[in-house]
Structure 1
Amino acid sequence: MSGVAPAPTERQLRRWRGYLADERVEASLYLQLAERKTGEEREILLGLADAEKRHEAHWLELLGDRVGRPRAGSLRTRLLVLLAQRFGSVFVLALAQRAEARSPYDDDADATDQMAADERIHGEVLRGLAARGRERLSGTFRAAVFGANDGLVSNLALVLGVGATGVDPKTVLFTGVAGLLAGALSMGAGEFVSVRSQRELLAASHPDPEADAALPHLDVDANELALVYRARGETPDEAAEHARRTFARLAAADPALATGSIETVGDQHEAVGSPWRAATSSFLFFASGAIIPVLPYLFGATGLLAVVIAAVLVGVALLGTGAVVGLLSGASPLLRALRQLGIGFGAAAATYLLGLLFGAAGI
């Protein structure tokens, strides 16, 4: 009888049933995400779903005929499934990555070492998929988050600082609108210059297309083409081999068809984007944030009431932009949201106190 395993306690059974429910929901999450993907990413997510089903089988074996009524799984995982059904975005992958990193299997004797290792690796797989998604996020989306945040903080500080001096509410309103327009125009102009300059730099670095015409007439032995590749950062051996392959292609085909032999990394102008589009986006994103602190004054609020309403509205918006920044960077959304809130309110509080001092001094 010594070889018979003791009967599991009711506490163990509840824990196993919870794990079983979580594994089923996680498998559903990966299947939901896979439906919105194609190619390699779809195969990776389906592979994760298969792994969760192996874990599910482990808990089913332990439970035997004591599985009981189906459970719903953790609220967090069910929420992720709901988000995956609606969006299937990089944000869901980032949140799922964090969930996998906090697996309880490391400290549970009833889970195998392989299962604990699986969960740890799943977190890294999701980290890689989320990183792919972050790279695909357009610059416009990033500009939306950071531009709106700049508008929120700068105009809240301006409105509170001016309002604290005790001036007429209309003056505060006009100041806020002026700050909105000045900041949005400045952001738009700066983005236009930045993107336009970047496109000009790329154009200056792009190889001269007429240089290809000279390739068939180069001395193969002297091989000055290798100097081109060395100038682009290749080692002497890499440059020589690169040039040899280029001449081999030229020898094997009609030189007239061998255009593009002096390879480039591709046309990057599309990745940089249009300066006008970038300028317009920055203007609108900044303005969308900067209008929020002005709203109470637009609707007739004055004094402390306007300050409180503006602070609450901006606080909610800062928490939202901070959470998005956290997801984009792979960090904790909550911590980044609180950090964003603290920085924004810190700047606003400083200007509000300065306004009070100036108002008391009659400046």
Structure 2
Amino acid sequence: MTGPTPADLRRWRRHLADERAEAAVYRDLARHRDGEEREILLALAEAEGRHAAHWEQLLGDQVGEPRRGDIRFRILAWLARRFGSVFVLALAQRAEARATYEADLDATPTMAADERIHEEVVRALATRGRNQLSGTFRAAVFGANDGLVSNLAIVIGVAAAGVPTATVLLTGLAGLLSGALSMGAGEYISVRSQRELLAASAPSAAAAAALPHLDVSANELSLVYRARGMSADDAQRRADEVLADLEAADVGALHAPSPHHSRTAGEPHDVVGSALGAAVSSFCFFGSGAAVPVLPFLLGLDGSVALVVAVVAVGLALLLTGAMVGLISGGPPFSRALRQLAVGAGAALVTYGLGTVFGATVG
């Protein structure tokens, strides 16, 4: 039997370095968590340690000097030590998804299966964080994107009509302020209304207090569960369980999982977010986004130079917001960034064309 080739040794050392680096990421993330999440992350680190031991055993006395892991794991480790946020978990999820042990004959089937399960574990942890910030984050991202695209469209459209630079600047500032106020007010009303709708759908305390007085033979409690999406048999079984232990029954006993609602998603109010937080985020981020296309004119540039600078600055900002959306959603950040840029470029081209036509007509 021949020994491992130099290519085998390099591959095993690379896997060993990656497993060690990945275990370090999970340990660093665990330092920012407590309770169940901390235990889960430490268990993932332990699993990656077992994988590292496999490659150490294959290498034997040819392990060599410790190597640095892949660049993505080094970036993850740096972020985990400093932030420990949902962004790091989303990146870790993508790193797990790129595991290649299925195609590596020297990795065991158990190791390949472990990596796929790790991806789902990290996905679930990241989902908790996404749900906690989804309302405010959604308002922030949409606000910044709307500010960038809408105010760039306004500035380009007005500039293309051939008006003076002072008019372009005034129009851009007016678009910034009016848009930010509109976005903030709209987000406040939208989130507040959604929270009120959710509150109206929650079981009442009066219904829970009435449980001991129900007619057990009729057991109308089963109708509650059927109305919430359970089958007749399951609803009857659930109602019998609640009435059999009235001392433990409370408002929560009236909850029943709906086919359209996942209990793992957290409380609905957490997913929706705070109305005031969403309004402030939307106002601030719309304003910051809308300020980008106006900045060249504020700095004294004019004409085509100001327009080119504005377009480039907005393009870079759109790429950044698109990449952030991709990271937080666990999707590919590069394609999300290009999609965001394409949408913004399309809007800018349309308004530039309209501004040119109207400018020529007025002239």
Partner of residue 47, structure 1:
43
Partner SS state of residue 168, structure 2: helix
CA contact 2:148–2:290 (8 Å) conserved in 1: yes
- 1:82-110, CA deviations, whole angstroms, 9 ceiling, x for partnerless residues? 01111112221222222222223333333
Cα distance in 2, alignment partners of residues 312 and 122 from structure 1: 40
**Is 1:61 matched with 2:66?**
no
**Is 1:168 matched with 2:164?**
yes
Cα deviation, residue 73, structure 1: 1.8
- In structure 2, the CA distance between the partners of 1:51 and 1:262, relative to structure 1 (3 Å rule), is closer
CA contact 1:229–1:239 (8 Å) conserved in 2: yes
Partner of residue 326, structure 1:
326
Cα distance in 2, alignment partners of residues 134 and 24 from structure 1: 27
CA contact 2:184–2:283 (8 Å) conserved in 1: yes
Cα deviation, residue 177, structure 1: 1.1
Aligned AA (2:302): T
- In structure 2, the CA distance between the partners of 1:11 and 1:351, relative to structure 1 (3 Å rule), is same
Q: Which segments of 5 or more consecutive residues in structure 2 lack a partner in the other structure? A: 257-265
Aligned AA (2:329): S
CA contact 2:191–2:274 (8 Å) conserved in 1: yes
- In structure 2, the CA distance between the partners of 1:247 and 1:14, relative to structure 1 (3 Å rule), is closer
Of 218-227 and 342-351, deviating more is 218-227
Cα deviation, residue 77, structure 1: 1.1
Of 80-89 and 353-362, deviating more is 353-362
Cα deviation, residue 292, structure 1: 1.2
Cα deviation, residue 294, structure 1: 0.9
Cα distance in 2, alignment partners of residues 352 and 159 from structure 1: 9
**Is 1:263 matched with 2:254?**
yes
- 1:169-216, CA deviations, whole angstroms, 9 ceiling, x for partnerless residues? 111111111111222222122223223333443454445544555554
Equivalent residue in structure 2 for 1:37, among 33, 37, 42: 33
- In structure 2, the CA distance between the partners of 1:308 and 1:259, relative to structure 1 (3 Å rule), is same
Partner of residue 314, structure 2:
314
Matching of residues 85-164 of structure 1 within 5 Å: 85-164=81-160
CA contact 1:207–1:262 (8 Å) conserved in 2: no
- 1:130-159, CA deviations, whole angstroms, 9 ceiling, x for partnerless residues? 222222224112211111111111111111
Superposed CA RMSD in Å reads: 2.7
Cα deviation, residue 163, structure 1: 0.9
- 1:27-84, CA deviations, whole angstroms, 9 ceiling, x for partnerless residues? 1111111222223322222222222222222222222222222221211211111011
Cα distance in 2, alignment partners of residues 261 and 118 from structure 1: 36
Partner SS state of residue 53, structure 2: helix
CA contact 2:134–2:272 (8 Å) conserved in 1: no
Q: Which segments of 5 or more consecutive residues in structure 1 lack a partner in the other structure? A: none
Aligned AA (2:280): T
Partner of residue 362, structure 2:
362
CA contact 2:14–2:69 (8 Å) conserved in 1: yes
**Is 1:287 matched with 2:287?**
yes
CA contact 1:23–1:55 (8 Å) conserved in 2: yes
Cα deviation, residue 326, structure 1: 0.8
Q: Select the structure of larger CA radius of gyration.
A: 1
- In structure 2, the CA distance between the partners of 1:67 and 1:277, relative to structure 1 (3 Å rule), is closer
Of 151-160 and 210-219, deviating more is 210-219
Aligned AA (1:185): L
Structure-2-length-normalised TM-score: 0.87
Cα deviation, residue 231, structure 1: 3.3
Cα deviation, residue 357, structure 1: 2.7
Partner of residue 296, structure 2:
296
Q: Give the fraction of aligned pairs with identical amino acids, expressed as a percent.
A: 64
- In structure 2, the CA distance between the partners of 1:133 and 1:297, relative to structure 1 (3 Å rule), is same
Partner SS state of residue 137, structure 1: helix
Structure-1-length-normalised TM-score: 0.87
Equivalent residue in structure 2 for 1:179, among 169, 175, 181: 175
Partner of residue 339, structure 1:
339
Of 117-126 and 240-249, deviating more is 240-249
- 1:252-305, CA deviations, whole angstroms, 9 ceiling, x for partnerless residues? 69xxxx774873589966764554443333222211211111111111111121
Partner of residue 3, structure 2:
7
